[in-house]
């Protein structure tokens, strides 16, 4: 059976390649820091389940130390030249996006068709992880199509990937770390404390107030945490489960799905979501560091209101 371990291996091998290429890049004065950072991340994917809690904790401290002390830099990987890229873009036009579009198409088709595929009486792919496994297959398929079509230098895909990941830097691991932080907060009982505060404020008989407390709370806590995945376990334990679902009988699937969407509205409005809002501003060389956030607020607030109303209308039989 193909499980989530397959996705971890693919990601781990990729980060290991980034580490090796970074170590050999003498154009980057911080090449050893980059190599250590991506090497540790590769280790977490390839052997995290064998390191144990203490080993993984030390690994995370190493990642934070490297990022916190500014050990990461940007090199100049040798790939295709600017003139060559312009010539390719001019000749192929928007067809260059086809390999990228292959990724979501493969993920969608795999999710719909592969969850019941059997081999020797057992599922070929873990039904719980079919979407992520299909996404990994899509990435590999898109890479194969692009290489066969464009005939780039042998290391160009890895070098271009390294160039992009170096531009993003340590923020690339924020979603993973913040999701783990949300689980830690949930286990520490933060959700219960928040729940007591919310239940002391909203009216007992007001379903709309409970829904609004959940959706707005998801957005607000996401703005604090920087990631809706981190906010979800806390706010769902605090408001979603005991009030929206438990007291008022909301459909758990609808409540959870729309609750996550409400959290994403908060993602659009916070610098804590650095990989979404601060890194793009840096890559685009915007004069205003918060320019991306300011452009998104006008969309995020109406979306939050829409999600609140949708949950109120759709989550209750």
Contact call for residues 271 and 278 (beta carbons, < 8 A) = yes
Which residue, among 111, 115, 135, has the nearest Cα to 125 in the 3D structure?
A: 115
Contact call for residues 301 and 262 (beta carbons, < 8 A) = no
pLDDT band at 196 (very low <50, low <70, confident <90, very high): confident
Is residue 278 pLDDT above 80, yes or no? no
* pTM value > 0.85: no
Question: Tokens in use for 196?
Answer: 């007591």
- Distance, CA of 162 to CA of 79 (rounded, Å): 11
- Distance, CA of 5 to CA of 129 (rounded, Å): 10
Question: Tokens in use for 175?
Answer: 């979603």
Q: C-alpha distances in angstroms, 211 versus 85, 222, 252, 316? A: 50, 16, 13, 11
Which DSSP category does 118 fall into?
A: E
Which DSSP category does 317 fall into?
A: -
Question: Tokens in use for 73?
Answer: 């830099």
Is residue 8 pLDDT above 80, yes or no? yes
Q: Report pLDDT for 249.
A: 93
pLDDT band at 45 (very low <50, low <70, confident <90, very high): very high
Longest distance between any two alpha carbons in the chain, whole Å: 66
Is residue 260 pLDDT above 80, yes or no? yes
Q: Where are the domains of the chain?
A: 1-78+156-168, 80-152, 189-314
Q: What is the mean pLDDT of residues 256-284?
A: 86
Question: Tokens in use for 164?
Answer: 């992009």
Q: What is the pLDDT of residues 137-170, one digit of tens each?
A: 999 999 999 999 888 888 888 998 898 888 888 8
């Amino acid at each position: 059976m193909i499980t989530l371990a397959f996705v971890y291996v693919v990601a781990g091998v990729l980060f290991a390649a980034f580490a090796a290429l970074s170590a050999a890049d003498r154009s980057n004065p911080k090449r050893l820091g980059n190599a250590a950072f991506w090497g540790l991340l590769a280790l977490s994917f390839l052997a995290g389940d064998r390191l144990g809690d203490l080993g993984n904790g030390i690994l995370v401290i190493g990642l934070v130390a490297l990022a916190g002390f500014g050990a990461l830099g940007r090199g100049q990987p040798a790939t295709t030249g600017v003139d060559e890229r312009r010539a390719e873009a001019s000749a192929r036009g928007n067809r260059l996006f086809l390999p990228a579009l292959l990724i979501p198409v493969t993920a969608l088709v795999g999710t719909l068709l592969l969850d019941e595929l059997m081999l020797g009486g057992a599922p070929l792919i873990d039904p719980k992880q079919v979407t992520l496994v299909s996404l990994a297959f899509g990435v590999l398929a898109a890479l194969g199509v692009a290489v066969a079509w464009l005939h780039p230098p042998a290391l160009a895909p890895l070098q271009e990937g390294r160039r992009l990941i170096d531009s993003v830097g340590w923020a690339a691991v924020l979603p993973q770390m913040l999701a783990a932080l949300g689980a830690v907060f949930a286990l520490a009982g933060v959700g219960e404390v928040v729940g007591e505060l919310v239940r002391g404020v909203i009216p007992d008989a007001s379903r709309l107030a409970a829904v609004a407390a959940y959706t707005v709370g998801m957005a607000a806590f996401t703005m604090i945490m920087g990631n809706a995945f981190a906010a979800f376990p806390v706010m769902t334990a605090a408001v979603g489960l005991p009030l929206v679902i438990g007291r008022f009988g909301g459909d758990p699937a609808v409540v959870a799905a729309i609750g996550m969407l409400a959290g994403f509205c908060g993602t659009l409005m916070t610098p804590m979501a650095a990989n979404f809002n601060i890194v793009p501003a840096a890559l685009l060389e915007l004069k205003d560091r918060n320019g991306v956030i300011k452009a998104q607020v006008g969309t995020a607030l109406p979306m939050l209101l829409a999600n609140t109303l949708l949950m109120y209308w759709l989550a209750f039989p």
